[in-house]
Structure 1
Amino acid sequence: MICSVLSLDVGRRRIGLAGCDPLGITVTPLPALHRSHYSSDLPLLQEHCQRRSVQGLVVGLPLDDAGAPTQQAEHCRRYGLRLAASLQLPLAWVNEHSSSWAAGERHGLNGDRSGRLDSAAAALLLEQWLREGPELKPAQFMASGPGAGGVDGGS
């Protein structure tokens, strides 16, 4: 099911954002969110979702070379579950291994700290999800462990 989706590349300092049109034809990097606390992030993300009529979230999980969850993957998983529950939106996980590197290479953004690299990585995650899935699921049905619940193994 293609729909308007918001993709998140969750980091400790910034969240890269990208969106797609309801037909899944155009993926657009959006301005990154410079983080403070979840309580400050939530209204900004709610506004993005309302303005873009978002119907689902795609959250990147940084898995290692062997496909195992990293410590950051657990943080991203918790953040994604909390956000999906708060916004009452279904979500999907995508393996974001090497996404920042790939985005930096593709767009010449290596070393960027403005957030453009983070949003370019979120756009790559969304493109991957549009090609490969998995289906969006309600947060309460997502598996509890990091890297579980239908993480796509692609990079």
Structure 2
Amino acid sequence: MGRILAIDYGQKRVGLAVTDPLKIIATALATVTAGEALDYIIKYCAQNEVEAIVIGMPVQMNGEPSESQKHIRPFVGRLQKALPEMQIKFADERFTSKMAFQTMIDAGVKKMARRDKGTVDRISATIILQDFLGC
């Protein structure tokens, strides 16, 4: 059984989360720069059994694609070329950053620690993955 890897792609940083092999638990994995993301994901998939990748696709409230998709689509193309056998799926990521920030507040994370954008990206990827799993 393979894991599912989730990606919260941003122009500067990419948040990553992964399931356990049984696909029960979603866990934050890492935050990498956008430039390092493809190599990191390829290496991770080579070292771990990954069954599918879920990429958060931002959608506007009216259902139209958001402006951010113009940055995500080229990355997805490079990812598909690098891992042609990999299942790549998309998930609506509306409000994940706000939900991640609220999760940090609810967990009692101090104000200074909440400023770490990388943490927000990892939590956002975890939320995308939890939504995908139906948790």
What TM-score, normalized by structure 1, do the two folds share? 0.74
Report 1 or 2 for greater relative contact order, CA contacts < 8 Å, sequence distance ≥ 6.
Answer: 2
Among 94, 99, 102, the alignment partner of 1:97 is 94
What amino acid maps onto 1:6 in structure 2? L
Higher helix proportion: 2
1:34 and 1:98 map into 2 onto residues whose CA distance is: 21
2:39 equivalent to 1:43: yes
What amino acid maps onto 1:56 in structure 2? A
Task: Write out the 4+ residue segments of structure 1 that deviate beyond 4 Å after TM superposition.
Answer: none
Does the CA contact (< 8 Å) of 2:9 and 2:34 recur in 1? no
What amino acid maps onto 2:94 in structure 1? H
Unpaired runs of 5+ residues, structure 2, are none
What amino acid maps onto 1:44 in structure 2? Y
Aligned length: 128
Deviations 1:94-126 (A, max 9, x none): 011110110110123785344111010000000
Does the CA contact (< 8 Å) of 2:51 and 2:87 recur in 1? yes
2:52 equivalent to 1:53: no
1:112 and 1:14 map into 2 onto residues whose CA distance is: 14
Higher strand proportion: 2
Does the CA contact (< 8 Å) of 2:55 and 2:91 recur in 1? yes
Does the CA contact (< 8 Å) of 1:17 and 1:119 recur in 2? yes
Which residue matches 2:66? 70
Could you tell which deviates more after superposition, 3-12 or 107-116?
107-116
Residues 118 and 85 (structure 1), Cα distance of their counterparts in 2 relative to 1, 3 Å cut: same
Unpaired runs of 5+ residues, structure 1, are 133-155
What amino acid maps onto 2:65 in structure 1? P
What TM-score, normalized by structure 2, do the two folds share? 0.84
Q: Matches of residues 1-155 of structure 1 in structure 2 within 5 Å?
A: 3-36=2-35, 40-88=36-84, 89-108=86-105, 112-131=115-134
